[in-house]
Chain A
Amino acid sequence: GAVVSQHPSWVICKSGTSVKIECRSLDFQATTMFWYRQFPKQSLMLMATSNEGSKATYEQGVEKDKFLINHASLTLSTLTVTSAHPEDSSFYICSASTGKYTEAFFGQGTRLTVV
């Protein structure tokens, strides 16, 4: 149980285009989903927290207009990188949780390369 699926696993896009990444909890309802960014050989940096049906809470320094997050249902959250630039290239990972004092389960990550 507790499977989180992220799609796509990797994507290459041209500078200036937008890319959407999906995160689905397959066998549980996730009241909260989290989006992280990870640079090579570094830890996971939280970008934003999203609750189903409400606006995402972004961490300090993360541009909300750049990284659009939608959490339309208890099993799906999407991250859209708008007007992508090479510096947005990174490994993006989502996680999902059923509530406070519980575990968070991760998707397999999405490698974004902007050329």
Chain B
Amino acid sequence: GQQLNQSPQSMFIQEGEDVSMNCTSSSIFNTWLWYKQDPGEGPVLLIALYKAGELTSNGRLTAQFGITRKDSFLNISASIPSDVGIYFCAGQLFPSGTYKYIFGTGTRLKVLA
């Protein structure tokens, strides 16, 4: 099935460092969503973006909807141990009058205390 490309695939960082990850696609999306998934649980919504160029923050998290509508990035500032997990981007598509969400390949984050 379709997937969005996320990078990096994984990263190890020191507590307190800033983190940046991005998501790219060959298709245009009208909505970008960022989720965090802990082991054995469903993804939890972090940030939703609806307009090209939009920059939105949620606490230490900041995400932007790319101008071309084909990419998005997520930044985490001053990382803490509980930031560990897998981060997924998701884009919304509108095939044939309906809609669906396609997920990125994920970025696995590990924070070293």
Q: A interface vs B, CB < 8 Å?
A: 2, 4, 6, 32, 34, 36, 42-46, 49, 51, 57, 59-61, 91, 93, 95, 97, 100-109, 111
> For residues 50 through 82 of chain B, which have their beta carbon under 8 Å from a beta carbon of chain A?
50
Which single residue of chain A is at the shortest CB-CB distance from B90?
A104
B88 touching A103, Cβ below 8 Å:
no
The answer, among A4, A60, A95, for a CB contact under 8 Å with B101, is A95
| A45 neighbours in B (Cβ, 8 Å) | 1, 103
C-alpha spacing A2/B43, complex, angstroms? 13
Tell me, rounded to whole Å, the shortest Cβ–Cβ distance linking A105 to chain B: 6
Say whether B14 faces chain A, with CB atoms less than 8 Å apart.
Answer: no
| B31 neighbours in A (Cβ, 8 Å) | 101-102
B1 touching A46, Cβ below 8 Å:
yes
Known: A34-B101, A43-B106, A61-B1. A103 touches B45 (CB 8 A): yes
The answer, among B43, B88, B101, B106, for a CB contact under 8 Å with A46, is B101
A-B contact count (CB 8 A): 68
B41 touching A108, Cβ below 8 Å:
yes
Which single residue of chain B is at the shortest CB-CB distance from A36?
B103
Known: A45-B1, A108-B42. A103 touches B48 (CB 8 A): yes
| B103 neighbours in A (Cβ, 8 Å) | 36, 43-46
Tell me, rounded to whole Å, the shortest Cβ–Cβ distance linking B57 to chain A: 16
A32 touching B98, Cβ below 8 Å:
yes
B100 touching A109, Cβ below 8 Å:
no
C-alpha spacing A88/B39, complex, angstroms? 20
| A105 neighbours in B (Cβ, 8 Å) | 45
The answer, among A6, A97, A100, A107, for a CB contact under 8 Å with B94, is A100
A106 touching B1, Cβ below 8 Å:
no
A109 touching B45, Cβ below 8 Å:
no
The answer, among B30, B33, B40, B105, for a CB contact under 8 Å with A103, is B33
Tell me, rounded to whole Å, the shortest Cβ–Cβ distance linking B95 to chain A: 8
Say whether B92 faces chain A, with CB atoms less than 8 Å apart.
Answer: yes
Known: A44-B43, A109-B41. A100 touches B92 (CB 8 A): yes
| B35 neighbours in A (Cβ, 8 Å) | 106
C-alpha spacing A61/B43, complex, angstroms? 24
